Amino acid sequence: MSPVGPVGPICERFSGGPAFAVVMISAPVPRDEQRRLAALAAYDLRDRVAEAELDDVTRLAAAICRVPIALVSIVECDRQWFKSRFGLTLEETPRDVAFCAHAILGDDTMVVEDARRDERFHDNPLVTGEPFIRFYAGVPLVVASGERIGTLCVIDREPRSLDSAQLDALRTLARHVVKHLEVRRLTSERSAAEDRFRMLSDAAPVGIYLADGDGSRLYTNSAWQQMSGLTFEESLGHGWLQAIHPGDRDRVLTEWASAVAEQRDVDAEFRFVTREGNERYIVSRAKRIDEPHDGREKWVGSITDITERRRTEEMLDRFFRLSVDMLCVSGVDGYFKRVNPAFTEVLGFSEQELLARPYIELVHPDDREKLLVELQQLAKGRPTHRFESRCVRRDGSIRWIAWSASAVTESGLIFGAARDVTSAKIAAQALAESEDRYRDLFENATDLIQAVTPDWKFLYVNQAWLRTLGYTVEELSGMTMMDVVHPDSRDHCREVVQRLMNGELVPKLEAVFVTSSGEKRLVEGNVSCRFVRGRAVSTRGIFRDVTESRAAERDLLRSHETLRASESAMRSIISSSLSGIVTFSRKGLISSVSPAAETILGYPEADLLGRDISQLLPEPPADFDAFLHAAVHTSLGRVTEWDLRRGDGSIVSVELALFEFETADGKHLACNLHDISQRREVEKLKREFVATVSHELRTPLTSIRGSLDLLKGGVCGPMTPQGEEVATIALRNTMRLITLINEILDLDRLDSGKLEMYLADAEMESIVRTAADSVRAFAEQSGIRLITDVVAGLIHVDAERIVQVLVNLLSNAIKFSPPGAPIRLTAQCERGEAVFRISDRGRGIPRPYLQRIFDRFQQVDSSDSRSRGGSGLGLAICKGIVEQHHGTIDVVSEEGTGSTFTVRLPLRGGDPLNALEPSDVLIVEDDPALLAVLRKQLERDGVAVRSATSGREALALMRATLPRLLVLDIGLPDIDGFDLIAILRGDSAMRTLPLLVCTARYLGAADRACLTLGPTRFLTKTTADDRELRRLVAELITP
């Protein structure tokens, strides 16, 4: 085996040939050997086939260099073989002994003048044995891709050298060899491509041809020949034109020429006439080939036989034009693409007119919505069947059209067929109406129907007549109508009948009939007269017994009067009220404006009557109904603040109480307005004042404090003890003033919402430590023991502010504790909250003060402010800060034993609302506006919810995924809340579900008992605020 490593995985090791005892140095394998071998393979050198041109080259090389041997050597994976050899019989050698394997490593000629003196070759078997090489010169064959595939080399059995002319000639010859090989490669590639093209083209079902720029055919495939009926030879040159229909020939040639001139694709449609005389419709398309090999432009084209398609189209077109029904094709853009003559006939528009306008404009405005719905269905792929709508003709008359249509979703086309059904529609309507009348007459058994001759004899009466008036048919045969009519009504009846017989129309007859038992019945009805040949033959009447309903009406009238009286009382109350009152309907239309309200709103009543209340808003709401609904929901029975727009465009702030009242025509809403603009203005002024003054105060205080500091610190010289005492007092009071100003500023910011919170995660432990450290000195001074006890926990707060709260509470505790008493500060986690407790054993807070202790300027003893310091603002600030953190603060205290202040803050990650999944809370509420309000309130707290608008939907959702909390409105459209709860109670999985019942009305204990599942809470919609909802939800989902 060779000492050289394997040259690549893709080649077989050379194993034939003479076995040399090899110790010489073999050529290393080039780095890019894989690429080199791939390039070599592309040249398809066909081993051992002699090529005269190459043999000429080797002969010439030997002659020029005056050597006996010249070779074209190809270096393969394992061997070199000689593509051409002159003066040598050996056909190949292993690669590891090949001189050429060395020569291909460099770009230039490798010359070995005496192999025996060359350490690479002195023991090479080709040197020591046949063919006894002494001299070697090899030029690498560098192909187009840069690879060196072999060499042109000359060999002598004697040492020698080459002069530069010889070397030059050798290089030239090597380039010639490469060029020869390149030409061979290109030729073989092209002929392979052409073979493939012909094979494909003959197998193709479409006709294919190759043409010159002047249209003469160079090639046609068999499908082409089949369509045209020409043979291959006949089709060549301009022979193909014989197959074209004479009527199309000139056009085809002209089109060809102009397309070629403009360098674009040639598209043509024409007919072939076959030998048998059949016409075939053909479409043809030709494209220019970009790289012609022989310098002539060429065009490759294909033809398709569309005869069948064309015939089908023609047939369809004929039907389209002939159809009595209206046929159309329209697009998604809302315009017709095609309409048939029947269309133009029925609608009276020309085809152009129909195509030029959106077809919806043809439809009667009242039917357009219906049509749009139908079109949506169509777009979803549901065909329209016998859809009826009215269309407006060009002359403005209306036709009923019945449509059937289907849409092809891919193309976006709608195919429609329609028929004018106006006359059928009218007939059907007329029939339906007359049937209705008939039914009214005879099936409505409560009406009294009668026919009477002009001399008042009965022709017939119906069952209701007999039943109501108590007569039998037999009795009537001996009576006249006048026997039934009460004497007081007789003249009136006679007069009406007389007028009818004279041909007048009488709208309504009212009369008193007498029953068989003598009772009076008040009837009301219509009477008509039937004429035969101009003579009245009978009068027909339909009456209704209105005795009872009239009585009821009278009662109603009376109660209306009462209502009207109370209404007018209310009106006078409203008009004299000092606060403004505006009343409006449930739809928001203003029905009255009191004089005081006129002043507040800056409109006379007349300008507002009948307008909706959005007139009064600074910005009209996008959806008025939703706005009204939500506004009523949030404001009914409560006092809320609003900004309203006055008649002159200015804005007025009002306090508003909304209430409901009832009059004869139903429920109304009224709001009581209070102009609070001035109050707002004052509040704003106050805040600005406080801010300015507080800042202004700080500047002189800086000087005062600084002076006292320096005095007391001895910077201005030594002080007497009295002097120092006085300076200390001045300094202490200065500090009090500074604290007071700071607190006023804090409160002001809390009020105006400007107190910015820098929220971050903080360790409870570090907050407690910081707070304790800052009061420790004060505690020690007062002899107080400060005990802290804290568990680890993370809260998301403004740590500086929470420390401020704790320091404030601790300072208070220290101030009010006797010396030596302990104060305990603990921090724990309870039910998802961080709980801080500050307990002292001080004097406690008297019960009456407990309620107000968190209000401003509240001090249990007014002397405290002097003796203990403090502004009375500290606790109000604490409360404000804690509430801004969504927490609570409260106090438990007993006089004489001490107080405990408790601050609760949501734990970071421990807030139960944060841990909720969207499927955990299910809201069941049929009113979309209220649902939106509830959803919004919860979503603001980061709680995503599911919702259902009916009991059935709720059950389905709950059975799919069990929620952790059900929020239920008890008034639902299908199953009401009580029933829903009953169903849930029967289900073991849902029986213990936490439940929050939202109700608009007060529920008694019995109702509440029926509305309980697991833990249950009740929320009255009109009075609840956001915080309560949040609190209840959090409570219910906490295990």
Q: Give residues in contact with other proteins (CB under 8 A).
A: 695, 698-707, 709-710, 712-713, 715-716, 734, 738, 742, 745, 749, 754-756, 758, 800
What does the alpha-carbon distance between residue 525 and residue 462 come to, in Å, rounded to a whole number?
A: 15
Q: What is the dihedral of CA 325, 326, 330, 333, to 10 degrees?
A: -140
675 phi/psi in degrees, rounded to 5: -75, 115
Residue 139, strand partner residues: 152
What does the alpha-carbon distance between residue 71 and residue 89 come to, in Å, rounded to a whole number?
A: 11
| Closest CB to other proteins among residues 578, 715 | 715
How far apart are the two ends of the chain, measured CA to CA in Å? 83
Smallest gap from Cβ 666 to other proteins, in A, equals: 53
Going by their DSSP bridges, the two strands 298-305 and 326-331 should be labelled as unpaired
Can you spell out the DSSP letters for 261-317?
Answer: HTT--EEEEEEEE-TT--EEEEEEEEEEES--TTSS-EEEEEEEE-HHHHHHHHHHH
Region of 944 (left: φ > 0; alpha: ψ -120 to 50; beta: rest) is beta
Residue 269, strand partner residues: 283
| Closest CB to other proteins among residues 28, 713 | 713
Smallest gap from Cβ 879 to other proteins, in A, equals: 19
**Cβ atoms 906, 885 nearer than 8 A:** yes
Smallest gap from Cβ 747 to other proteins, in A, equals: 12
Smallest gap from Cβ 881 to other proteins, in A, equals: 13
Smallest gap from Cβ 746 to other proteins, in A, equals: 8
Smallest gap from Cβ 883 to other proteins, in A, equals: 18
Enter the tokens of residue 248: 């199309």
| Closest CB to other proteins among residues 802, 1029 | 802
| Closest CB to other proteins among residues 312, 702 | 702
| Closest CB to other proteins among residues 106, 706 | 706
**Cβ atoms 340, 320 nearer than 8 A:** yes
Going by their DSSP bridges, the two strands 92-94 and 79-86 should be labelled as antiparallel
The tally of CA atoms less than 13 A away on the side-chain side of residue 229 is: 15
What does the alpha-carbon distance between residue 310 and residue 851 come to, in Å, rounded to a whole number?
A: 96
Smallest gap from Cβ 873 to other proteins, in A, equals: 16
What does the alpha-carbon distance between residue 65 and residue 153 come to, in Å, rounded to a whole number?
A: 10
**Cβ atoms 935, 923 nearer than 8 A:** yes
Q: How far is CA 427 from CA 347, 350, 386, 430, 438, in A?
A: 20, 29, 17, 5, 16
| Closest CB to other proteins among residues 261, 715 | 715
Determine the distance from the C-alpha atom of residue 363 to the mean position of all C-alpha atoms in its chain, rounded to a whole number: 33
| Closest CB to other proteins among residues 89, 703 | 703
Smallest gap from Cβ 614 to other proteins, in A, equals: 37
Contacts with 889 (C-beta within 8 Å, 6 or more apart), sequence order: 805, 854, 878, 879, 882, 883, 901, 902, 903, 904
Smallest gap from Cβ 875 to other proteins, in A, equals: 20
Q: How far is CA 177 from CA 47, 145, 183, in A?
A: 16, 15, 10
| Closest CB to other proteins among residues 677, 884 | 884
| Closest CB to other proteins among residues 360, 691 | 691
| Closest CB to other proteins among residues 562, 702 | 702
Enter the tokens of residue 227: 């369509």
| Closest CB to other proteins among residues 182, 756 | 756
| Closest CB to other proteins among residues 426, 693 | 693
What does the alpha-carbon distance between residue 256 and residue 353 come to, in Å, rounded to a whole number?
A: 37
Smallest gap from Cβ 884 to other proteins, in A, equals: 13
Smallest gap from Cβ 775 to other proteins, in A, equals: 18
Smallest gap from Cβ 710 to other proteins, in A, equals: 5
Smallest gap from Cβ 696 to other proteins, in A, equals: 9
What does the alpha-carbon distance between residue 859 and residue 844 come to, in Å, rounded to a whole number?
A: 13
What does the alpha-carbon distance between residue 71 and residue 60 come to, in Å, rounded to a whole number?
A: 11
| Closest CB to other proteins among residues 621, 706 | 706
